[in-house]
């Protein structure tokens, strides 16, 4: 339809982490001359098609040992991780709710967000149980949506007068497919690996990060990711996000468009993390613009906490 005949293609699908991984793959392809310009694109009409069901993923590979017992996919796996994190570290449901409330505050500033009505901790706690301990407002939306990212070399971007954002570092890792094979239910090992690689490649420390766009399929995803990326110690994620630390005006701006919890979530959300980070770095985010953003970290999570990809942009 577009009349494009690519000489390099990559259809790797590792779930919500795929798009940050595609940035890495495209960067390498451009560097080694496989292509000059790369288009990363995604679209989904899963809400219109009503294709998202609790029946979840097909019983392939290790899923066959889980689905037979009726675990709701994928929320059941995330709920198991949340329960284990609570058991090991004393994390509370109220602390998870802090993430949902803060993210909704960002969405309230974004006219394109799906859910903009403000909520509080009590609203989250009173919302419908989905898979213990996760409630409705702990879970991402189901929406239609599409996004695209164009990548090229710095010289090519300059020649075309583009307001370019630079890829400073990236990392990718995979640890398992289904939740029963996760190495540690309370520890996001894939994010630890991908984050370490990205920080080392970028040559920056955590103090240099002005903004974080972190996959929020569920509130527990965010909390475990922040620990894994090293913004706080293991087990301290609940305390870290408390007191609306990540909300507008807070010291740790995160998921500034409203995230998968309130902005939109069309099947796989990862491309919107990149788009929002670029808009923030360019100063094009409107009412939800964060002042002085020079370096941003994007992290995608795929599968059932299965894969992770991290990109650092400036």
Q: Tens of pLDDT along 189-218?
A: 999 999 999 999 999 999 999 999 999 999
Residue 49: its pLDDT value, please?
87
Residue 57: its pLDDT value, please?
73
Residue 273: its pLDDT value, please?
98
Q: Given pLDDT bands bounded at 50, 70 and 90, which one contains residue 52?
A: low
Burial zone of 293 (CB within 10 Å; 0-12 exposed, 13-18 middle, 19+ buried): buried
Q: What is the C-alpha to C-alpha distance for residues 209 and 129, in angstroms, rounded to an integer?
A: 35
Q: What is the C-alpha to C-alpha distance for residues 64 and 78, in angstroms, rounded to an integer?
A: 18
Can you spell out the DSSP letters for 49-76? HT---TT-S-S-GGGGGTGGGT--TTHH
Q: Which residue has the higher pLDDT, 162 or 137?
A: 137
What is the separation, in whole angstroms, between the first and last Cα of the chain? 33
Give the residue among 249, 252, 174, 240 at the shortest CA–CA distance from 211: 252
pLDDT > 70: percent of the chain: 98
Alpha-carbon dihedral sign for residues 119, 223, 257, 287? positive
Quick one: DSSP state of residue 218?
B
Residue 64: its pLDDT value, please?
87
What 3-state DSSP class applies to 146?
A: strand
pLDDT for residue 54 is more than 60: no
Strand 129-131 to strand 134-135: parallel, antiparallel, or no bridges (unpaired)? antiparallel
Q: Given pLDDT bands bounded at 50, 70 and 90, which one contains residue 126?
A: very high
Provide mean pLDDT across the span 293-308.
97
59-73, 174-188, 200-214, 224-238, range with the lowest pLDDT? 59-73
Rg (alpha carbons) of the chain, rounded to whole number: 19
Residue 180: its pLDDT value, please?
92
Provide mean pLDDT across the span 81-89.
98
Tens digits of residue pLDDT in 164-182: 999 999 999 999 999 999 9
Distance from chain centroid for Cα 20: 9
Token reading at 149: 């990212």
Residue 51: its pLDDT value, please?
73
Q: Given pLDDT bands bounded at 50, 70 and 90, which one contains residue 55?
A: low
69-78, 129-138, 198-207, range with the lowest pLDDT? 69-78
Q: What is the C-alpha to C-alpha distance for residues 145 and 286, in angstroms, rounded to an integer?
A: 20
Do 188 and 279 touch, CB atoms closer than 8 A? no
Q: Given pLDDT bands bounded at 50, 70 and 90, which one contains residue 62?
A: confident
Residue 162: its pLDDT value, please?
87
Tens digits of residue pLDDT in 140-151: 999 999 999 999
Burial zone of 90 (CB within 10 Å; 0-12 exposed, 13-18 middle, 19+ buried): exposed
pLDDT for residue 70 is more than 70: yes
Write down the mean pLDDT value for the chain. 95
pLDDT > 90: percent of the chain: 89
């Amino acid at each position: 339809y577009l009349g494009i005949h690519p000489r390099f293609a990559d259809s790797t699908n590792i779930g919500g982490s795929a798009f940050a991984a595609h940035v890495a793959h495209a960067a390498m392809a451009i560097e080694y001359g496989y292509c000059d310009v790369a288009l990363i694109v995604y679209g989904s009409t899963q809400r219109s098609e009503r294709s998202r069901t609790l029946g979840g993923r097909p019983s392939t590979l290790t899923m066959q040992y889980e689905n037979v017992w009726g675990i709701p996919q994928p929320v059941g796996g995330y709920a198991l991780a949340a329960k284990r994190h609570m058991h090991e570290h004393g994390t509370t449901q109220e602390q998870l709710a802090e993430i949902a409330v803060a993210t909704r505050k960002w969405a309230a500033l974004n006219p394109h967000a799906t859910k903009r009505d403000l909520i509080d901790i009590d609203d989250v706690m009173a919302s419908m149980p989905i898979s213990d301990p996760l409630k409705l407002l702990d879970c991402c939306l189901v929406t239609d949506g599409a996004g695209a990212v164009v990548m090229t070399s710095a010289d090519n971007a300059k020649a075309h007068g583009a307001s370019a954002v630079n890829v400073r570092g990236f990392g990718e890792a995979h640890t398992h497919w289904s939740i029963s094979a996760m190495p540690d239910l309370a520890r996001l090992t894939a994010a630890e690996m991908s984050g370490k690689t990205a920080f080392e490649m970028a040559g920056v420390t955590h103090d240099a990060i002005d903004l974080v766009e972190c996959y929020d399929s569920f509130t527990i995803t965010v909390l475990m990711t922040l620990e894994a990326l090293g913004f706080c110690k293991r087990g301290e994620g609940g305390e870290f996000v408390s007191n609306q630390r990540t909300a507008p005006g807070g010291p740790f701006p995160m998921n500034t468009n409203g995230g998968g919890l309130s902005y939109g979530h069309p099947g796989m959300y990862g491309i919107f993390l990149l788009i929002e980070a670029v808009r923030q770095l360019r100063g094009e985010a409107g009412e939800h613009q964060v002042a002085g953003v020079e370096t941003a970290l994007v992290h995608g999570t795929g599968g059932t906490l299965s894969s992770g990809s991290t990109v650092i942009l400036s």
